C-alpha cells in the first residue's frame, strides 16, 4: 500500500457538525462542543486512513476570483453564525495542537487548494482521500489516486461511482454542470435544460465547444434551448472547474502526519 494524503475540507466538516447541535442555545457552549466533536472526527479519520500526510484546508476570508468573474457567485447562501465565524482561528489552533497541519491562502477557496494538493500528490503516486460532502470534488475522480469520502454518510466515492450518480464520466462533469447549473453556488446553467436533457446532449457531443459547433444536429426544441447560451456555458464551466495549479508554496513534507495517542481540546 502506497503513501496516503488525507485532505479535510475544514469548513465543510465544521459547519455540518455545528448545524447538528442547533438545539444548543448557548452559542459559546455550541462552539466548544463543535470543537470537541471536530477533534473526535479527525481522530477517527486519521485512524481509519492511517495517512503519511494530512491537512485541514480552510477558505480564505472575503471574495475570491470566482466573485470577480461572477459577482452573484454563492449569493443567497445562508451566512455562517458570527460566533462560529469568529471562532475559526481557534479551531485551526486546536487542530495544529493535535499535530494536524492547517492551510489557508488569501484569495483562494479551499476547493481549489484541495484540488491542487490532490493532483500534485497523484503525480507522485500518492493517493489522496478528500473528506468532504461537496460534489465539486467528484470531477477529480478520473485519477485512480484521488478518492472522496463523506464522513457523515460513511461513503467513499471513486471514478466508478460517478457515472452511476450523474450518467457521465468525471472528466465530463464540468461540461455537464455548465448545462444544468450548480444551484448550491448560484451558478446558472441553460434555462430549461435539466439532467435528462443534459445527458442526451453530452452523449451526442462531449464538450460545450462540440455542442455549439454541432447545434444543427440536435432536435429543434434542443436547439431553441441552447440558442444564445454559449458564452454563459463557457463562464459557468470555468466557475465550476476546480483549479489544480495554485501556487500554494508548501512542500508535501510539511504535511507529514505524526500519530497522537490522545487528543486535546485546549493547548
Whole-angstrom Cα distance, residue 4 to residue 166? Answer: 27
Does the structure show a pLDDT above 90 at 179? yes
Whole-angstrom Cα distance, residue 163 to residue 154? Answer: 20
Does the structure show a pLDDT above 70 at 266? no
Instruction: Scan for cell 497541519, then name that residue.
Output: 101
pLDDT band at 75 (very low <50, low <70, confident <90, very high): confident
pLDDT for residue 264: 55
pLDDT digits (tens, 9 = 90+) for 219-255: 999 999 999 999 999 999 999 999 999 999 999 999 9
pLDDT digits (tens, 9 = 90+) for 196-214: 999 999 999 999 999 999 9
pLDDT band at 258 (very low <50, low <70, confident <90, very high): confident
pLDDT for residue 2: 84
Alpha-helix residue ranges (DSSP H) falling in 24-180: 27-49, 65-69, 82-97, 110-122, 161-166, 173-180
Q: Which domains does the chain have, with CATH numbers?
A: 4-163+242-255 (3.40.50.1010), 168-240 (1.10.150.20)
pLDDT band at 260 (very low <50, low <70, confident <90, very high): low
pLDDT for residue 265: 54
Whole-angstrom Cα distance, residue 176 to residue 193? Answer: 10
Q: Phi first, then psi: what are they for 148, rounded to 5°? A: -125, 145
Average pLDDT over the chain reads: 94
Beta-strand relationship, 146-150 and 155-157: antiparallel
Amino acid at each position: 500500500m502506497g503513501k496516503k494524503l488525507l485532505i479535510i475540507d475544514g469548513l465543510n466538516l465544521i459547519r455540518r457538525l455545528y448545524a447538528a447541535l442547533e438545539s444548543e442555545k448557548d452559542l459559546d457552549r455550541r462552539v466548544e462542543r463543535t470543537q470537541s466533536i471536530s477533534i473526535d472526527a479527525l481522530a477517527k479519520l486519521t485512524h481509519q486512513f492511517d495517512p503519511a500526510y494530512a491537512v485541514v484546508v480552510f477558505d480564505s476570508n472575503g471574495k475570491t476570483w470566482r466573485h470577480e468573474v461572477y459577482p452573484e457567485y454563492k449569493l443567497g447562501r445562508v451566512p455562517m453564525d458570527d460566533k462560529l465565524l469568529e471562532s475559526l482561528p481557534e479551531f485551526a489552533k486546536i487542530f495544529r495542537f493535535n499535530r494536524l497541519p492547517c492551510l489557508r491562502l488569501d484569495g483562494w477557496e479551499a476547493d481549489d487548494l484541495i484540488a491542487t494538493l490532490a493532483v500534485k500528490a497523484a503525480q507522485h503516486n500518492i493517493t489522496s482521500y478528500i473528506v468532504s460532502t461537496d460534489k465539486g470534488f467528484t470531477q477529480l475522480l478520473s485519477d485512480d489516486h484521488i478518492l472522496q469520502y463523506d464522513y457523515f454518510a460513511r461513503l467513499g466515492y471513486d471514478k466508478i461511482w460517478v457515472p452511476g450518480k450523474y450518467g457521465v464520466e468525471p472528466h465530463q462533469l464540468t461540461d455537464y454542470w455548465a448545462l444544468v447549473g450548480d444551484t448550491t453556488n448560484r451558478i446558472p446553467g441553460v434555462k430549461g435544460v435539466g439532467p435528462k436533457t443534459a445527458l442526451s446532449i453530452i452523449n451526442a457531443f462531449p464538450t460545450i465547444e462540440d455542442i455549439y459547433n454541432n447545434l444543427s444536429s440536435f432536435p429543434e426544441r434542443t436547439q431553441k434551448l441552447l440558442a444564445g447560451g454559449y458564452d454563459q456555458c463557457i463562464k459557468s464551466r470555468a466557475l465550476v472547474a476546480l483549479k489544480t495549479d495554485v501556487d500554494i508554496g508548501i512542500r508535501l513534507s510539511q504535511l507529514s502526519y505524526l500519530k497522537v495517542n490522545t487528543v486535546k481540546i485546549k493547548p
